[in-house]
Structures are given as C-alpha cells and as structure tokens.
A and B are shown apart, each in its own frame.
Chain A
Amino acid sequence: MRAIALACALILAALAPAGAVEPDEVLADPVLEERARALSEGLRCLVCRNESIDESNADLARDMRLLVRERLVAGDSDEEVIGFLVERYGEYVLLRPTLSGANLALWLAAPAMLLLGAGIAFAYLRGRAKPAAPEGLSEEEKARVAELLKD
C-alpha cells in the first residue's frame, strides 16, 4: 500500500510544477520553433500520465523535445521527425492514433454511430408521424359493415 502511495506521489511530483518548454530549449529560428511546438503537442511523454511532451516537465519529455528540435534543425520534414520518434519509441508516442488497421474502427466510430443514430431516430420519428394504424376490422365487424352497406 505504501509502495502504491509512493508511486502515486512520484508520478504526481513529475507533473506538478510548471515544466514544459524551458527557455534554453527554444530554437533561434521562430519558424522551426513553431513547428517543434506543434509537433510536441501531438507526442506523448512516455513516463507521464497522459501528457504531451509540450506540457510535461519530466526529464524524458525534455530529451524528446530536444530530439524533435535536433531533427528539425537537421532538416527533417515533420513526417520524418514523427517517423523517427515512432521507430524509436513505438506507436505509443502518438497522441493522435494513426489511421491504420484496427484504428480505422476508432476513427470511423463517430460517423458510423452518427449515421446509425440518425437513421434509427429518423425511422422512429417517421413512425410517430402517423397515428397508430387503426386496428383492422374483425371478421364479425366486416360482416356487420357489409350488412349495413347492403341496405
């Protein structure tokens, strides 16, 4: 129990102070820096709880931020930087899941559910638009109607 509490405290400690980008990391070229920031927002700090490397002050996040900037300065495109990090740390590093394989189910879930929901709702509403169909006449009633009409 103590161990768990301690682990929690450590994890929280890692996130507590205003960390994120330190002044000495900032690139001189504002265009490159802006690209670095945009990329960092989509990359997960691996040791943190659901934080991007842009927000985290963990040492690993700092290393990753420096790595991103290093690659950018070396002339990599955004895709190449992401590719490099995924190769190194795995798919886990991407906060925005790729559109590949099973992940298609994740990305298509929203439109699919919307279509399904809208379809069901529309069918329901169409059903409610008509008063419940009057129940058909029983044989007895039909006979009676025929009798009345005859007269």
Chain B
Amino acid sequence: MIVELGHFALILAFAIACVQMVVPLIGAHRGWRGWMAMGEPAATTQFLLLAFSFTALTYAFVTSDFSLRLVVLNSHTLKPMLYKVTGVWGNHEGSMLLWVLILALFGAMVAWFGANLPPKLRARVIAVQGAIGVAFLAFLIFTSNPFLRLEVPPFDGQDLNPLLQDPGLAFHPPFLYIGYVGLSISFSFAVAALIEGRVDAAWGRWVRPWTLLAWLNLTIGIALGSWWAYYELGWGGFWFWDPVENASFMPWLLAAALLHSAIVVEKREALKSWTILLAILAFGFSLLGAFIVRSGILTSVHAFANDPERGVYLLAITGIFTGGALTLFAARAGALQAKGVFGVVSREGALVANNVLLAVATFVVFIGTIWPLVAEMLFDRKLSVGPPFFDMAFTPFMVALAVILPVGALMPWKRARIDRAMQPLWGVLVLALAAGALVWTLQTGRTILAPIGAILAAWLVMGALVDLWQRTGRGDLASKARRLKNLPRADWGKAVGHIGFGITIWGVAALTAWEIEDIRVAQIGDRYQVGNYEVTLVDVKEVEGPNYISTMAEIDVIDNGTPLERLRPEKRIYPVAGMPTTEAAINNGVTRDVYVVIGDPQEGGGWAVRTFIKPYANWIWAGAIIMALGGVLSLTDRRFRVAAGARKARAAKPVPAE
C-alpha cells in the first residue's frame, strides 16, 4: 500500500513539475503576479511528493518487500540494515529517484530562501528548475520506474553488488548528486538571466552560494569515491582516469572555475557572459556525466545499468538543455554589458587566468574521455586513452594553477603590479624552494616529482597564510590578532580552500613518487622486510560474516622497532551475488599508510601477500575535505547571512510593487 502511494506521489510530482515549468514562466513573461507566485507552492509540493515517494521506496527496501522488482534485484534479507537503506540508491532506478528528489529540493530551496530575489527572476528560475524536473521525472517514470511489481515474488533477493556494500561507496552518491544537481540551480539562474537579458552584481551574489554548495558537495563526493577505490579495489590506486570518474571531475573543474568567475561578476560586474556560459556548461557536463555513467557508451569500472534506450533518452535531455541554453546564450549574450575597467595585471586578470586554466583542463579531460569514441566513429581506429595520457596532458595545468595562485590571490582589484604582489611572497618562495631542496636531498630515489610537489604545496599553504596575515594591516600583535578574528568568513574560506589544494598536491606527489610495493609468497610464520617495516604473516583463517564468507589473514608489522596494531586483510565471497571482494587492511598514519592485501593460496603452500607502503596517502583526501571546509566557511559569510536577515524583514512587511 505504501509502495503504491509512493508510486502515485511520483506521478503526481510529474504533473506538478509540468505546472511549475509552465505557469511561472508565462506569468513572468506577461507580468501576472498570481501566475508568477504559483512557482513557489508548486516547487514545495513537488519536493514533498518526491520526499514521500523516496521514503516509500526506502520503506520497501527496509522491510525487504520482494514483490518489488528493484528490491529483489538489489537486496537480501541477510544484508545489514545500513546497506538495505543505502541499497535504495545503489542501483540505476533508485539513484535516479534520489536525483529528482535533490533536483526538487533545490527548486524548493529557491522558493524558501529566495524572497530577496526579484519576483520575475525567481519565477523564471523556479520554472527552469521545473523543466529539468519534468525531463528527469519523465525519464524515471517511463524508462526506469523503481516501483514496478513482480507477479510472483521470490522468497529472497539477489543481493546488492558486494562492492557497493561499503560505507565509503554507500555514502558518496548523495554527495555527488547534491553536487551534480546543485549545478542545475546555477544553470537555472543563468537561463533565467538570459531570458531576462540582465546580469548584474546582485545576480553574481545570488548564484555564488548555490555554486559553492554544489561544488563543496561534489568535492566531498569525489573524495569519498576516490578513498573507496583506494581501500577497496585492492592495490591502493586513488584515481584511474576512468570515464565515470572523469564524468564527475569535469563538472567539478567547471564549478571551481564558475566559483571564481562569479566573484568577478559580483565585485566588478565584468566577465558576465563568460560566467553565464560556464554555468550552462557546468550543468551540461553534469548531464553528460549522467549520460556517460548510465548509457554504457564508454565502459568503465563503476558504470551501472547500461541500457541503450535509456542512453538515447539521456542524450536527448543533455542535448535539449545544453543546446537550448547555448542557443539562448548566443542570441542574448550581446545584451550583457560589462562595466568594470581593469588592467591586464590585476585580481580580475588573475581570475581570468584561473578560468582559462581550469576550462582548458576540463577540455583536456573531455577530449581524452571521448577520443576512443571519436576515433572509432570517424577514423575507424579502435584505441584506448588511459592514465598515461591524462597524467601527461592534465598535470601541467594544475601545476600552472598552483604557481599563479598565491600571487593572484594577493593582487588588488583593477590594477596591480607583480612586484608589489610578490613583496610579501619572496620569503614564502625562498622557504618553498628550500622545502623542495630538502625533500630532494632526503629522498633515496631520484624522482623530480616529490620536490616539485613539496615546492608547490609549501608555496600554496604559506602563500594562503601570508594572504590572511596581510589582511590584518598594521599595528601590534593584539590588534592584528583581533582583525584576523574579525576577517570576513569568505576570506577565511578562500585561504582554507587554497590550503586544501596545496595539501592534496603534496599527497598526490609524495604517494606517486615514493610508494613501495612488495609482492611475495609467504608461509605462515614468515617474517620479511619491506622498506623500514618488518612484516610477519601470523595466521590465515576462515571467518563467517553476516552475508559473506571471509578468508582473513593476521599480519603483524613492526615499524622501526615499534609494533603496530595487528592487520587483518580479508578476501570475501558473497555467495548470493557470487562475487568476491578484497578488504585491504590499512594502518593509517600521518606520514604513511601500511597497506596489506591477502591473495590466493599457492600450490606449493603459503599465501600471496601484497604489502604497500603509501607515503602521505591520507593527505590527498584530507586536502579535499579541507577544500570543502573552505567552501563551508565561505557559505557562512556574513553577507549571505545578512541577506538572509533582510529576507526575513522583507517577508514580514511586503514591499509594494515598484
């Protein structure tokens, strides 16, 4: 019964979304206030209906209702409760329902928190959001309905893919979707502004927090996904340049560019048409990502539910929304007048450089991702584009970005001089180079990667600190400290975000340069040396889990004389799904991870054991989380909160029409 109600709610939400798409748009065009005001209750209702629908599906999963096809395919009575719940979005249909739920949530949030928007703009934003909702709800209902029943329900389900039965993977889709779908708001704002033909500083101010919210969630989602790949796939890689990863990475890069260009719109009323274009492209790449992941056109490690029919539908959605918005852009961009005047060397100029680097980097990832397809269709060549290409073509952009970042961040608006901006940074540069030299002399190998990583990381982190310090002005230490405390949160967010970027660079460089790997056959009781670590295979035994059987090894590691906690790597078999997984055992440390994996028993006795020493691995994800934290700090900035306060005051006392 509840499932049926959920199904009805889904269909009703589709109808409401149609209303939300049409009525406010006509109202805004004709200037009919009543029609414009229709958008808000429609957005709220659509969200509530979808929330109910999602709850109903979750209920079906929790109670293991095997009359539902989706539950049979993706659940099992023995599965732990946590994974029964996360199983809701661990499949194509359920994840699409989560997608439309978040889409509706963002639309509703514009309705709830958008009281300080001009009514016409708000009506149009909500209508465009409604249009996206209509497209995806139609896709969900007509090609991937999660509420299909089975005539003869089986006694038990087929279990969720065991790889997905893991906290890291279970929780990363919601973050990713908030990121992907959050970019729809920037898109809706861009399209609404194009319809209106007006983009001003206020527009930049409204769009920024939404983009920030999307970007920071995307950051967390990507970091969680990468962390999962690190510990679950069994050889400790953290990034594979896989099409699906690239699908999430491209919107992230563009959202980062959009964040920065929206600052220029907000502060200086320039870069308007470029910012609009970025907002369209960022969401366009989100849609393209959904297409890549769900159509199976580019095979990948993580793709699920590949289906040509769905692929065509998603391609149509991507084409219509991106193409339509770009056409509108071509027609209307001329109407956007830039106002600010500034020199080539200025904060604006630095932000333009940031945007060029990020946009071209996105383009490189894009062309690398689709090149196999292009080569096969146009040149009849079946080829692969893998990590060696991406590492080589993408890395220079990040290096260039890191080099210019601290200088650009210190430049004033309008007109700057490089020597003036560099003045407080010379010390930082010397220290960063010293750090690089130190790393160069301390390392045993002769790779240039680690010293470069050290220089860039030190340059970024100390540069951000100097930036904060510069803002405290003159005076004694106490007054400086007070000013530091009272700096706008956005300044803190900027510094913290940039520090996170530096930390991630260091993690990637150190891990890539210094990883130690040892593969061998070990007999029980064998003791051997890996780097500075003494490893002993103590025992291997069979253990039974709730829905799997595990071969668990016990391994002792002595770190330069100090014994670490015993490591227990596992090899699991999930009988229902008939799939094996590896559970690496990791001793996490600040400067290194000890990562052990148990392999197959060998014919002559003994076990295959892999031991990795992974220097500074955790810094990669720590840096990403710090970047996201910078986003959170920025979001709590006073001017956004003040805007919220003004909204309340205005809501209490309606302002007469102009």
Contact = CB atoms under 8 A, between A and B. Distances in A.
Interface of A: 4-5, 8-9, 12-13, 15-24, 26, 41-42, 44, 49-52, 55, 90-97, 101-103, 106-107, 109-110, 113-114, 117-118, 121-122, 124-126, 128-132
B384 A23 contact: no
| Top 9 A-B residue pairs of the complex, sorted by shortest distance between their CB atoms | A95-B386, A18-B234, A96-B388, A18-B582, A117-B356, A18-B597, A23-B521, A125-B344, A102-B379
Chain B binding surface, main DSSP class = mixed
Given A91-B383, A128-B338, A16 B581 contact: yes
B341 A97 contact: no
Nearest to B573: A17
A8 B306 contact: yes
Contacts of A96: 386, 388-389, 392
Contacts of B363: 109-110, 113
Interface of B: 73, 161-163, 233-235, 237, 240, 242-243, 270, 299-301, 303-307, 338, 340-344, 348-349, 352-353, 355-356, 359-360, 363-364, 367-368, 371, 375, 378-379, 381-389, 392-393, 396-397, 519-521, 571, 577-582, 584, 597-600, 602, 608, 610
Contacts of A130: 341
B235 A109 contact: no
B519 A12 contact: no
Given A17-B234, A17-B571, A117-B356, 9 more contacts: A18-B234, A20-B235, A22-B599, A55-B235, A95-B387, A114-B397, A128-B341, A129-B343, A132-B341
B272 to A, nearest CB: 12
B353 to A, nearest CB: 7
Given A17-B234, A128-B342, A129-B344, A113 B384 contact: no
B602 A49 contact: no
A8 B382 contact: no
Most buried by B among A12, A24, A26, A122: A12
A28 to B, nearest CB: 13
B384 A94 contact: yes
Nearest to B162: A16
A134 to B, nearest CB: 13
Which of A18, A20, A24, A124 has the most chain B CB within a 10 Å cutoff? A18
Contact of A15 (B233, B341, B353): B233
A13 B364 CA distance: 31
B388 A21 contact: no
Nearest to B389: A96
B364 A128 contact: no
A106 B602 contact: no
Nearest to A93: B384
Given A22-B608, A23-B608, A90-B382, A50 B300 contact: yes
B371 A18 contact: no
A49 B356 contact: no
B242 A50 contact: yes
Contacts of B582: 16-18
Contacts of A20: 234-235, 519, 610
Contact of A95 (B303, B355, B379, B388): B388
B301 A18 contact: no
Nearest to B391: A96
Nearest to B366: A109
A110 B393 contact: yes
A113 B388 contact: no
A109 B520 CA distance: 43
B70 to A, nearest CB: 11
14 contacts: A8-B305, A16-B163, A18-B233, A20-B235, A50-B386, A91-B382, A92-B384, A95-B384, A96-B386, A96-B392, A106-B371, A118-B356, A128-B348, A130-B341
Contacts of B584: 18
A92 to B, nearest CB: 5
A3 B550 CA distance: 28
B237 A5 contact: no
Contacts of B242: 49-50
Contact of B360 (A12, A55, A114): A114
Contacts of A23: 519-521, 599, 602, 608
Contacts of B163: 12, 16
Contacts of B371: 97, 106
B233 A9 contact: no
Given A16-B163, A50-B299, A55-B235, A103 B375 contact: yes
A20 B388 CA distance: 18
Contact of A18 (B235, B243, B306): B235
Contacts of A15: 233, 301
Contacts of A18: 233-235, 571, 582, 584, 597-599, 610
A131 B338 CA distance: 11
A128 B602 contact: no
A40 to B, nearest CB: 12
A118 B375 CA distance: 28
Contact of A124 (B234, B303, B305, B352): B352
B270 A113 contact: no
Given A50-B243, A109-B363, A117-B360, A16 B381 contact: no
Given A50-B240, A50-B300, A106-B371, A128 B270 contact: yes
B577 to A, nearest CB: 7
Given A12-B161, A128-B348, A49 B386 contact: no
A124 B610 CA distance: 55
A44 B384 contact: yes
A122 B344 contact: yes
A122 B578 CA distance: 58
A58 to B, nearest CB: 13
A103 B383 contact: yes
Contacts of A110: 360, 363-364, 393, 396-397
A47 B646 CA distance: 60
A126 B344 contact: yes
Contact of A97 (B352, B384, B571): B384
